[in-house]
């Protein structure tokens, strides 16, 4: 079998806590795909690159011939038990990620990165960097010494790198002229898809951002949804009848607490 790895990033107590909910699904998926499961759990570049999310670049060290393909998955993602293998769906020489062109700040990020770093032939769809499939051919994308990356981070007027690693990864995929396949939202279902009650129809559910897919903390949201994914009956109902899922989400105590706080603020005087 080809050498494969599924890599995730979980540095710090909060992400370790999330990992206790999500990593079992990532491990099960890695096993199904005959891939090694690797957790990046300590920082190496924080002083130089300023932002913890850039610790994803540690995958650079695994692109030394040990693995033919690597799938990076954010730790705030749950994977459904019947998710097909992305290792089989994505060719080895092709970079794979899910487009969020229709939902995100793609135009803003295209303009900002090109204004700061120079124009490129931007022909690939703007993707979410929480799920990425790549191999040796894409090693330069994760080079922590990349002049383009260091120029981006080193620009004192640049505040966009604080948001995430996503704009610079998108810029580099186009600058480096990588072949790319859009994996589709089912392999990275983020909160930008507003009909969150349909999330269980996707294979990878991504709880990025403060709102995630429910109300309450991300940990609470993911723990409840992991329970749905681990129950064949609940998963079937949530997939087959999203309107029932919509109702169940709103009968949740966290949602009722949110409504209570909202109305308290609305009718508060002084």
Which pLDDT tens digit goes with each residue over 13-23? 999 999 999 99
Report whether pLDDT(105) > 90.
no
pLDDT interval class at 153 (50, 70, 90):
confident
Q: How confident is the model at residue 162, as a pLDDT?
A: 53
pLDDT over threshold 60, residue 270: no
Distance in angstroms (rounded) separating the CA atoms of residues 197 and 225 = 11
Beta bridge partners of 37: 6
Residue 269 reports pLDDT greater than 60: no
112-136: burial string, b at 16+ Cβ within 10 Å, e else: bbeebbeebebebebbbbbbbbbbb
For 68, the 3-state DSSP assignment is: coil
d(CA 218, CA 226): 12
Q: Kindly tell me if the per-residue pLDDT of 223 is higher than 60.
A: yes
| Residue with more model confidence, 245 or 51 | 245
Decide which of 193 and 21 is more confident: 21
What is the spatial distance between Cα 24 and Cα 102, in angstroms, rounded to a whole number? 31
Identify the pLDDT of residue 186: 97
DSSP 181: E
Highest mean pLDDT among 49-58, 100-109, 161-170, 248-257 belongs to 49-58
Look over the chain and give the mean of its residue pLDDT values, rounded to a whole number.
91
- The whole-angstrom separation of Cα 37 and Cα 22 is 13
Considering only CA atoms, which of 65, 72, 64, 115 is closest in space to residue 95? 72
Burial of 107 (0-12, 13-18, 19+ CB in 10 A): exposed
Q: What is the pTM of this model?
A: 0.92
**What local confidence, expressed as pLDDT, does residue 71 receive?**
98
Give the CATH architecture of domain 1-270: Alpha-Beta Complex (3.90)
> First CA to last CA across the chain, in angstroms?
66
84 Cβ neighbours under 8 A, 6+ residues apart: 203
Angle (deg, nearest 10), helices 232-240 and 218-229: 100
Listed range (20-29, 92-101, 160-169, 218-227) with the worst mean pLDDT: 160-169
pLDDT for position 191: 87
Asked if the model's pLDDT at residue 261 lies above 90, the reply is no
Nearest to 109 by CA among 45, 159, 156, 61: 159
By the 8 A CB rule, do 70 and 135 touch? Answer: yes
């Amino acid at each position: 079998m080809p050498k494969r790895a599924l890599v995730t990033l979980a540095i710090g107590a909060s992400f370790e806590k999330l990992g206790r909910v999500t990593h079992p699904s990532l491990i099960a998926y890695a096993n199904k795909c005959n891939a090694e499961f690797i957790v990046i759990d300590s920082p190496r570049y924080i002083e130089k690159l300023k932002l913890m999310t850039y610790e994803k670049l540690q995958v650079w060290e695994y692109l030394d011939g040990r693995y033919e393909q690597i799938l990076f998955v954010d730790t705030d993602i749950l994977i459904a038990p019947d998710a097909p293998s992305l290792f089989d769906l994505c060719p080895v020489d092709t970079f794979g990620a899910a487009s969020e062109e229709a939902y995100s700040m793609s135009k803003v990020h295209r303009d900002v990165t090109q204004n700061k770093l120079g124009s490129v032939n931007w022909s690939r769809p703007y993707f979410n960097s929480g799920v990425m499939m790549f191999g040796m051919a894409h090693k330069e994308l994760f080079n922590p010494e990349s002049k383009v990356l260091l120029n981006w981070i080193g620009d004192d007027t640049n505040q966009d790198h604080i948001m995430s690693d996503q704009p610079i990864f998108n810029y580099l995929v186009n600058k480096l002229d990588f072949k790319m396949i859009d994996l589709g939202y089912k392999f990275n279902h983020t909160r930008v898809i507003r009909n969150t009650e349909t999330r269980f129809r996707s294979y990878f559910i991504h709880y990025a951002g403060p709102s995630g897919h429910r109300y309450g903390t991300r940990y609470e949201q993911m723990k409840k949804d992991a329970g749905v994914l681990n129950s064949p009956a609940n998963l079937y109902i949530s997939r087959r009848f999203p309107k029932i899922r919509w109702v169940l989400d709103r009968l949740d105590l966290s949602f009722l607490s949110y409504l209570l706080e909202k109305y308290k603020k609305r009718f508060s005087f002084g």
